[in-house]
Structure 1
Amino acid sequence: MRKQFARVVLWLFLLGGPAVYAQSGMTDSQVIEYVQQALQQGKDQQTIAMELLSKGATQEQLLRLKSQYSGAATSGSSSSQAGEGGAVQDTGTRARKTTVANATDGEAALEGANTDEMKETMKKRQELKVSTASENGVFGRNIFNIDKLTFQPNLNMATPENYRLGPGDEVIVDVWGASQNTMRLEVSPDGYVNIANLGPVYLNNMTIKDARQLLKQELGKIYADSANNIQVTLGNIRTIQVNVMGEVRAPGTYALSSLSTVFHALYASGGVSDIGSLRNVQVARGGKTIARLDVYEYIMKGQIQDDIRLQDGDVVIVPTYDELVKITGKVKRPMFYEMKNGESAATLLKYAGGFSSDAYKKSIRVLRKDGKEFSVKTVDDMHYSAFKLIDGDVVTVDSILNRFNNRLEVKGAVYHPGVFELSGSLNTVRQLVEKADGLLGDAFTGRAVLYRERENLTKEVLPVDIEGILKGTSPDIALQKNDILYIPSIHDLQDMGKVTISGEVNKPGSYTYADHMSLEDLVITAGGLKESASLVRVDVSRRIRDPKGTTEPDMIGQNFSFGLKDGFVVDGEAGFELQPYDQVFVRRSPSYTEQVNVTVDGEVLYRGEYTLSTKSERLSSLIQRAGGVSRYAYVRGAKLRRVANEEELRRMEDVVKMVRREIGETLATSLGLKVDSTFTVGIDLEAALANPGGDADLVLREGDVLTVPEYNNTVKVNGAVMMPNTVSYAKGKSVKYYLSQAGGYSANAKKSQRFIIYMNGQVAEVKGSGKKQIEPGCEIVVPNKTKKFNFATVVSNATSFASLATMLASLATMMK
């Protein structure tokens, strides 16, 4: 009792601080409570571990609790030493000190979950779940491997009257009335219970009913008053030892509840093995077989009367199966089934759930091994109950034919086309048309087509005079199975085509042709004319069609031109009607022009957008309309930003591809090499203002942005120099002077190919000393030495005044 008390206290300590882990089907507290109850029932380590795993506990959780358990023992030992000098107020701490000495049993129970045998059993349990879910699984074999079907006895139910007491069972005796007393009596290993003032009473192997009568009789000697009432019930039940042998996945000795049945014993042992039998499970008691269980009776009918309650020392034996038969094809549950000797094909079909809806039920095919070779047997439906199956048979149920025995179909110009039944009241063409609610208005009644299937499954076509049949002037035609009647529409026989309209209309596209469709009709259907449409030029093109022609024509198309007013034809062929496949082109008026805007920014009096007055308006005109430049303007540094048109974008894309090939995709990507929609045009605004209309006075176009900067009195030095720098502009100084301000040339400088980039986007090669070439705001670039033109160097040197888009545009211009 002291050991049991210490064990309970330890589990109560563990209950104080467990966390719930999401990956487990049981909380820590549930695991601990279950272990506590199992220990009280006398279950061994393997049984406890397997039952925990089957209920959803994980190996990691059990190992963690085992480690926590061990830590509790260690900490309890040390705390007991420390506690000698001070009071320990925490109840859990006192409990830990009390239970250290008796922690071994609980720790060992958790330890058992990590054995190789248990791992293998659980692995096989999972594999069996997968295998039995397919056609290659054996029906019913996974019933003892399902976590939620444990067959565990209900310990809270009333004790059965035929339950036989044994050592370890607890009997509760309640006395009330004249006397009040409650006694909890445990049956000793010798089979006795010891009652105070009465002595031992032998209860071993008595049913609970007989034990109740005996105890009332014996207690009546003590409580003789007739006012006393005595009630005898069963408390804690004992644990029994059961051997599970034969073809199970984990044979051995199991400690089970005394209320456990054969099914629970099979579950505890991991279920039957791959060659184990579900149809002949045996229970031996005292050397004699007392029961034989057929698990299929439980699965199919729910019969559990054979699932007897086990007793201490019982042996559950699972022999090998007698017959294993497979059924495939059109049954509801195709898979392997275990059969008893002498069971028929009809029984197998019952086990398989019967035929599926598309099964051929007249016969089945059996593939059999006769000891020497394979043989095939065809079993007719009248012999299903008489045909006996043997081990290794493979039964196949075929599908019905993919054809109909009474199918008719009508297609085409009827109100309700579809499939109909060939019957006594529907077996002619006239009846079929009437069944489809008659002909549509566009039906072509001159001739229909009847597709008929011959006996050899080939097709033939029969002409049908629908008009004559419906009027009674032609004989009706008898129908056969699988006949298909097709009644065409006049639209099916005519190529009506479409008409197309494009150009300056609101909804260009293709439209369905209709008889007598005019040009005005099509224009209205297309949403009317746009504001930009020309009213004096609408063209129509037409195909050349001559069904009776025998020579190739000289003309390949006809063209017509029309003038419109308010959407109506006023100039052209009167009464002109469109034909299928006509194409209509509504031209854009040459006198229609949308506003073309440019922008001027920087040091001018009136910045902003301006609309060009003429297509030939130039830089000087724009500056004049903007009020001229301010006194702070640096006219020579003005630059023009231009939006690239489609042709320029295409050429720049070609340049980018060339550069990517030259420097490689990786470097080009790191440099951000891509086509920009705008680029800088090198201009000389000073020359343009001095000579309006001259060559320097560029013609503007839509989207241009002219920027006039402030005066910038610096010069930037970049490229292959010792220290790139920006220095003050000094009039009359040479290029060498500015290079010296950057530390001079670097070791890999290519001195002969120096160039200057000006603020306006122009680029010039340095000639001589370059004194006359240096201007405020410019940039001097010294390229690196390379065996060939290095695009990467050029790109890295393209800074504030020369963008990548400008370089690409310049290269594209050279490639033009």
Structure 2
Amino acid sequence: MKMIIRSLLVLVLMLGCATTWVGAQGLPVNIESLSDEQLIQLATKYNLMGLSESELEAKAKEAGLGSDQILMLKKRIALLDPSVAGGQLAYSNKTDSYVLRNKVLTKGPTIRSKDSSGVLQVFGAEIFDNLDLSFEPNLSIATPSQYIIGVNDQLVIDVYGVSDVTKKLKVTTEGDIRFPNLGPIKVAGLSVDDARAKIKKALTRIYPGIATGAVAVQVSVGQIRSIQITLLGEVRRPGTYTISALATLMNALYASGGPNDIGSFRTIELLRGGKVVTSFDLYDFLLKGDLSKNRLLQDDDVIRVGTYNRRVALKGALKKPAIFDMKAGETAADLVQYAGGFADLAFKERVRVTRLGSSGREVLTVPSSGLSTFQLQSGDTLVVDSLPALYANRVWVSGAVYHSGAYGLAQTQDLKTLLQLAGLREDAYQERGLLRRLKTDLTPSMVSFSVQEVLKGSFNLNLQREDSIHIFRATDLRERYTVEIDGEVNQPGRYDYFENMRVQDLVLLANGYREGAARQKIEISRRLSAGGDTISYAVIKDISLDNPQDLLFELKPFDMVSVRRLPVYKEQIKVSIEGEVLYPGTYTLSGKNERLSDIINRAGGLKSSAFAEGAVLIRNTYVGVTSSDASLVGSKARLINQQSGRNIVPVDGGDSTILKNLSAQQKPVSIRLADALGQKGSAADVFLEEGDIIKIPKSIQTIQTFGMVNLPKQIVYRDGLSFKEAVRASGGFAVNAARRHSYVVYANGEIRTTRNFLFFRSYPSLKTGSEIYVPSRSDKKKLTTGEAVAVVSGLTSFLGLLVVLINTAR
């Protein structure tokens, strides 16, 4: 068997390589798609031996076979031939003949026929498709006493007592065994018990102690012979099989793959000597576990599977819907029993039957009481419906009750009883409840009632099936009451309003004041009615929490509280300096009038390697922006997007995200550090602001060209180096260079553009660290043929009009 596995592995390796060469994808053969016959034929065709299994596996992996494919191959071989555990498989020269010694041939999965819906399977077919079942004869048990000894069986004769002799003798083709010093003993055709008695009697001639009991004799079957049987009719794989003499009818049937699409599961005949020995019904085994007719097979036995007599489908609310084979005289009640009975949700009053009539399909309705007498026909389809989803006695209650859900109508016949059982919550809205009711045509209707009157007993309603009652919460029927606080508190925002809430309570909910809060300047705005339906906000109160009277000021729903900042309160202002100073880092400004030169001096001054002309100031563009500023920006951005129909200004995330994004935006500011240090207090010595970053680079000696030059590069700067010389050093202008739009960016961020006047062009001067940018010319759109014709026509018309005007003037 290992040789066969090796052969098949090499074969699959070759096929996998072929697939790789042809498809250029390296895809191996799909082992699962090969049939049993293909595996056997390919193993016979390719006699590939000599390699170990591990070597073959390694080469198979190199060819692209994964571990799953190799495992599937081994599993298929094991299922195709159980001789992996000791037997041996061969494929005889005789057509359709399978030889199996010691064990019964098993097979791979088979797809069974299904009904027109594509769902139901023939009942019993699954045992022949189940890879976990083998139905192999057990060779480890004692030989059955009814086993008939035949040619090639090996008998083990053990003589013990005064004499001690053990002999293993094979039954010859003449049907006898030959014990030393004793003539032939004919045992073929005898049962094990009869053969034991005959051998014991024959041995008394050379072992007299047997008669007196001094010597005992034990006879058993050592090796079981193989027998040939034939499977005919409607089986998956008919043919001649060589199997173990301990095999039964069920073993052989499983080896053949079981009944085919039209094969009967109810009438399987065993023929011996041309006569029917027994008729096996698979349903006896499947439904009752009865194997009394599962006879041991003998040499030259024939198993015949005929076509089914009646086949009926049973679907719907059953425990095991399937297609069933039915014998004559069996009724619909038997069929339901075969399916395990009705499911719990089955509508058991009647069963619908679809029948193939002589001129078309027919539908019959069979009451459950008539199933035991209803005779089935082949092709019938029985359908068991499920119970409808509607409840016969259910009412619902939901909302402001303690025990919402479904209730039985018998216990809650009226509205008051239902509300008392459900338990009304304290926050229930007493003025009105709603009852949803289905009319006779299942269209919904609505009935309103006063909850208060129902509980008092002055009003009540009798309930009906599927009535649904909803009790509202009083808080659900009004807008959520909130108050809002902003400004100098730790957690500004919107909070739920509570009755008798005061300003100090709201401040506590907001986690208290911030350090710079002005407790004497708290502003409250309130929603006021201006008459009619008009609602407006008005500032109605400025309070001081240092005033005991103001502490008692009571808030109303939707009040807005603003806590102002102390005018004299200032937080520390920090700036950073990086690069070529003695002490780079973060510094806190000593006042609002501290300048660039001041912070450079505090940082120890410039290093000798500092490049002052390249110093840059990075500043937060929107430093100090507030939430109201962000809200204004967001509103304008949304208006721009709405008017343009596009997302020109992203506003995703709301005003808080806009505030965060605005605060994080930084822009470079061009400065002249050398002038600021040389002329302190001058315009070049700028004032510093929160978050400023001063970057001072090391001295550099090069300039850089970018854009439409033939070779953008760095160039060593020298005094007097001009723009044109730098471009020439970079290979000159490219063909599509826009020379008139060239510009220079200096190390401190300043920009100088090319000046153009008529045919004269003046390029910017260069300094150390300059960057030259030469943009490309924009491609002018060529006129299409239609546009050219239109232009020519227009010019022609204009010239014609001009000629007419000139002639008229004369």
The offset of 1:211, in angstroms, is 0.7
> Structure 2 stretches of 5 or more lacking a match?
13-31, 53-85, 99-104, 635-639, 641-647, 649-663, 781-810
Residue in structure 2 matched with residue 759 of structure 1 by the alignment? 747
What pairs with 1:142-181 in structure 2 (closer than 5 Å)? 142-181=126-165
What pairs with 1:221-370 in structure 2 (closer than 5 Å)? 221-225=205-209, 226=212, 227-370=214-357
Residue in structure 1 matched with residue 772 of structure 2 by the alignment? 781
Residue in structure 1 matched with residue 675 of structure 2 by the alignment? 687
CA contact 2:96–2:239 (8 Å) conserved in 1? no
State how far apart, in whole Å, the 2-side matches of 1:786 and 1:681 are: 29
Letter in 1 for 2:421: K
State how far apart, in whole Å, the 2-side matches of 1:475 and 1:752 are: 93
1:697 equivalent to 2:685? Answer yes
Query: Alpha-carbon deviations, 1:696-729, whole Å to 9, x = none?
Result: 3334333322234454445556666676665655
The offset of 1:313, in angstroms, is 0.8
The offset of 1:213, in angstroms, is 0.7
CA contact 1:278–1:321 (8 Å) conserved in 2? yes
Secondary structure at the residue paired with 1:337?
Answer: strand
Give the direction of change, closer, same or farther, for the CA distance of 1:287–1:221 in structure 2 (3 Å limit).
same
State how far apart, in whole Å, the 2-side matches of 1:728 and 1:69 are: 76
State how far apart, in whole Å, the 2-side matches of 1:464 and 1:408 are: 17
Give the direction of change, closer, same or farther, for the CA distance of 1:774–1:148 in structure 2 (3 Å limit).
closer
State how far apart, in whole Å, the 1-side matches of 2:728 and 2:478 are: 88
Give the direction of change, closer, same or farther, for the CA distance of 1:540–1:329 in structure 2 (3 Å limit).
farther
State how far apart, in whole Å, the 2-side matches of 1:513 and 1:780 are: 62
CA contact 1:562–1:571 (8 Å) conserved in 2? no
What pairs with 1:436-515 in structure 2 (closer than 5 Å)? 436=422, 438-445=423-430, 448-459=433-444, 474=458, 478-495=462-479, 497-515=481-499
> Structure 1 stretches of 5 or more lacking a match?
1-10, 25-49, 73-105, 655-660, 662-675, 790-816
Secondary structure at the residue paired with 2:109?
Answer: helix
Q: Which moved more, 1:413-422 or 1:302-311?
A: 413-422
CA contact 1:429–1:477 (8 Å) conserved in 2? yes
State how far apart, in whole Å, the 2-side matches of 1:131 and 1:501 are: 71
1:612 equivalent to 2:565? Answer no
1:213 equivalent to 2:197? Answer yes
Letter in 1 for 2:178: N
Residue in structure 2 matched with residue 432 of structure 1 by the alignment? 418
Q: Select 1:382's aligned residue among 363, 366, 369.
A: 369
1:565 equivalent to 2:545? Answer yes
Letter in 1 for 2:425: L
Query: Alpha-carbon deviations, 1:652-678, whole Å to 9, x = none?
Result: xx9xxxxxx9xxxxxxxxxxxxxx965
Secondary structure at the residue paired with 2:265?
Answer: coil
Residue in structure 1 matched with residue 572 of structure 2 by the alignment? 595
Give the direction of change, closer, same or farther, for the CA distance of 1:760–1:276 in structure 2 (3 Å limit).
same
Give the direction of change, closer, same or farther, for the CA distance of 1:406–1:740 in structure 2 (3 Å limit).
closer
Letter in 1 for 2:371: Y
The offset of 1:596, in angstroms, is 2.4
Secondary structure at the residue paired with 1:565?
Answer: coil
The offset of 1:586, in angstroms, is 3.9
The offset of 1:248, in angstroms, is 0.9
State how far apart, in whole Å, the 2-side matches of 1:712 and 1:459 are: 85
CA contact 1:65–1:110 (8 Å) conserved in 2? no
What pairs with 1:587-666 in structure 2 (closer than 5 Å)? 587-589=564-566, 591-615=568-592, 617-630=594-607, 633-643=610-620, 645=622
What pairs with 1:81-160 in structure 2 (closer than 5 Å)? 109=89, 125-128=109-112, 135-160=119-144
Residue in structure 1 matched with residue 555 of structure 2 by the alignment? 577
Secondary structure at the residue paired with 1:419?
Answer: strand
Query: Alpha-carbon deviations, 1:304-333, whole Å to 9, x = none?
Result: 111111111111111111112112221122
Percent of aligned pairs sharing the same letter: 35
CA contact 1:367–1:376 (8 Å) conserved in 2? yes
CA contact 2:351–2:365 (8 Å) conserved in 1? yes
CA contact 2:529–2:536 (8 Å) conserved in 1? no
Give the direction of change, closer, same or farther, for the CA distance of 1:453–1:782 in structure 2 (3 Å limit).
closer
Secondary structure at the residue paired with 2:290?
Answer: coil
Secondary structure at the residue paired with 2:587?
Answer: strand
Query: Alpha-carbon deviations, 1:109-161, whole Å to 9, x = none?
Result: 47899x9999xx99983434999997321111121232222211101111111
Query: Alpha-carbon deviations, 1:373-396, whole Å to 9, x = none?
Result: 111111111111111111111111
The offset of 1:290, in angstroms, is 1.4
Letter in 2 for 1:349: V
State how far apart, in whole Å, the 2-side matches of 1:332 and 1:58 are: 38
The offset of 1:433, in angstroms, is 4.0
CA contact 2:737–2:775 (8 Å) conserved in 1? yes
The offset of 1:343, in angstroms, is 1.6
The offset of 1:405, in angstroms, is 2.3
State how far apart, in whole Å, the 2-side matches of 1:350 and 1:239 are: 40
Secondary structure at the residue paired with 1:280?
Answer: strand
Letter in 1 for 2:511: G
CA contact 2:110–2:128 (8 Å) conserved in 1? no
State how far apart, in whole Å, the 2-side matches of 1:379 and 1:242 are: 46
Residue in structure 2 matched with residue 528 of structure 1 by the alignment? 512
Give the direction of change, closer, same or farther, for the CA distance of 1:589–1:327 in structure 2 (3 Å limit).
farther
Query: How many residues of Structure 1 are paired with residues of Structure 2 in the alignment?
Result: 678
Secondary structure at the residue paired with 1:556?
Answer: strand
Letter in 2 for 1:595: Q
Give the direction of change, closer, same or farther, for the CA distance of 1:359–1:202 in structure 2 (3 Å limit).
same
* TM-score, structure 1 normalization: 0.72
Secondary structure at the residue paired with 1:279?
Answer: strand
CA contact 2:481–2:496 (8 Å) conserved in 1? yes
Secondary structure at the residue paired with 2:264?
Answer: coil
The offset of 1:645, in angstroms, is 4.4
State how far apart, in whole Å, the 1-side matches of 2:136 and 2:550 are: 99
* TM-score, structure 2 normalization: 0.72
CA contact 1:408–1:482 (8 Å) conserved in 2? yes
Q: Select 1:202's aligned residue among 180, 186, 202.
A: 186
Letter in 1 for 2:695: T
Letter in 1 for 2:184: P
State how far apart, in whole Å, the 2-side matches of 1:516 and 1:337 are: 78
Secondary structure at the residue paired with 2:266?
Answer: coil
CA contact 1:448–1:486 (8 Å) conserved in 2? yes
CA contact 1:756–1:778 (8 Å) conserved in 2? no
CA contact 2:96–2:238 (8 Å) conserved in 1? no
CA contact 1:63–1:111 (8 Å) conserved in 2? no
State how far apart, in whole Å, the 2-side matches of 1:719 and 1:544 are: 64
Query: Alpha-carbon deviations, 1:280-309, whole Å to 9, x = none?
Result: 111111111111111111111111111111
Letter in 2 for 1:402: A
Letter in 1 for 2:369: M
CA contact 2:431–2:452 (8 Å) conserved in 1? yes
Secondary structure at the residue paired with 2:389?
Answer: coil
RMSD: 4.6
State how far apart, in whole Å, the 2-side matches of 1:530 and 1:64 are: 91
Letter in 1 for 2:196: R
The offset of 1:465, in angstroms, is 6.1
Give the direction of change, closer, same or farther, for the CA distance of 1:18–1:645 in structure 2 (3 Å limit).
farther
CA contact 1:754–1:766 (8 Å) conserved in 2? yes
The offset of 1:600, in angstroms, is 2.6
State how far apart, in whole Å, the 2-side matches of 1:460 and 1:585 are: 50
